A = this chain, B = another copy of it.
Amino acid sequence: MRNFDEFTITDAVMERLKDARDARTHQISAALVRHLHAFIREVEPTFAEWEAGIDFLTRTGHFCDDKRQEFILLSDTLGVSMLVDAINHRGAGASTETTVLGPFFVQDAPECEHGADISGGIAGEPLLISGTVCGSDDKPLPGAVVDIWHSDSDGYYDVQQLDEIGDLAMRARLRTDAHGRFRCWSIKPAAYPIPHDGPVGQMLEAQGRHPWRPAHVHFMIWAARHEKLVTHIFAAGDRYLDSDVVFGVKDSLIGAFVEKPPGGAEDGRVLERPYWHLHHDFRLRLDTADAALAADRLPA
């Protein structure tokens, strides 16, 4: 087969996929080719534009290292991450809604005691983070693993400033107590622009978009026999709730950062300055597909 033109090239590529190693590889490859060709046919790029596309992808790849994932930022800002999230959480019902993982999750965050201060000494306004975790039957889930991570008051995560601060901070792994409760102290996070000094930042600028996300705290919660929950709680009243650059905000995920006067906090700690309190109750979804495997997935 040869002599392909703009009309026959797509079928030619399809024909080459007939010996794909499995049906799923064939399905994904064929769909990719059809949609990619349809995109090219619609926009009819010049050679200079094709070269610019190759260059954009190349620079996006070169921006990726162990501290920066520019392709996840691209997926997030094009709405792809939230679309994949939505497709994978159909019929979530009464369980807590999900949102994007984002590029700042770290495997194996430091394990902390109930009530610990996880701020790592980073300056900021004190924030008490507390919550409960229950199952779909509303019963508390003791021993659930709760990963928490958030930015500092300038909007930067620990991994973006490791050279200066020397260690992970504003990040921890807790376990719920016998009543399904967890609690820790940290500092109040701020709204922040996603890293925009790379190709994705240039894309946003060309598209006339700001790079900001509303202030939020990330949660990843794992419990035996339940689906892993990946979500944020966003700060009520934030100016970017309706224009989150990664399309992640849902009403059910907006929580009050309640300002409290100096004095004794709920957990007995005495503060000499005002502090903030964020409380949220999380409800996990039963992993009907693979309950046994879900238990295995729980970190040791």
Name A residues whose Cβ lies closer than 8 Å to a Cβ of B: 1-6, 9-10, 12-13, 16-21, 25-29, 31-33, 35-47, 49-50, 54, 57-62, 64, 69, 71-72, 75, 78-84, 86-88, 90, 203, 205-209, 241-244, 247, 249-251
Give the docked Cα–Cα distance between A75 and B54 (Å): 8
Which one of A75, A83, A242 has the greatest number of beta carbons of chain B within 10 Å? A83
What distance in Å separates the Cβ of A267 from its nearest Cβ neighbour in chain B? 32
Instruction: Establish whether residues A21 and B80, one from each chain, have CB atoms under 8 Å apart when the complex forms.
Output: no
Knowing A18-B208, A54-B69, A206-B25, the reply to whether A33 touches B78 (Cβ < 8 A) is yes
Measured CB to CB, the nearest residue on chain B to A204 is: B16
Structural contact, A247 and B13, CB atoms closer than 8 A: yes
A57's contact among B42, B61, B209, by CB below 8 Å, is which? B61
Question: Does the CB pair A9–B82 fall under 8 Å?
Answer: yes
Chief secondary structure at chain A's binding surface? helix
Chain B residues near A84: list those with CB within 8 A: 40, 45, 47, 50
- CA gap between A208 and B26 in the complex, in Å: 9
Given contacts A19-B208, A35-B38, A58-B69, 15 further A-B contacts (CB under 8 A): A6-B90, A9-B79, A17-B209, A19-B209, A25-B207, A28-B45, A29-B203, A29-B206, A35-B35, A35-B36, A50-B75, A54-B69, A57-B57, A61-B64, A61-B71
Task: Enumerate chain B residues within 8 angstroms of A208, measured Cβ to Cβ.
Answer: 17-21
Q: Are A20 and B207 in contact (CB under 8 A)?
A: yes
Residues of B within 8 A of A206 (CB): 20-21, 25, 29
Inter-chain contacts of A1 with B (CB < 8 A): 242-243
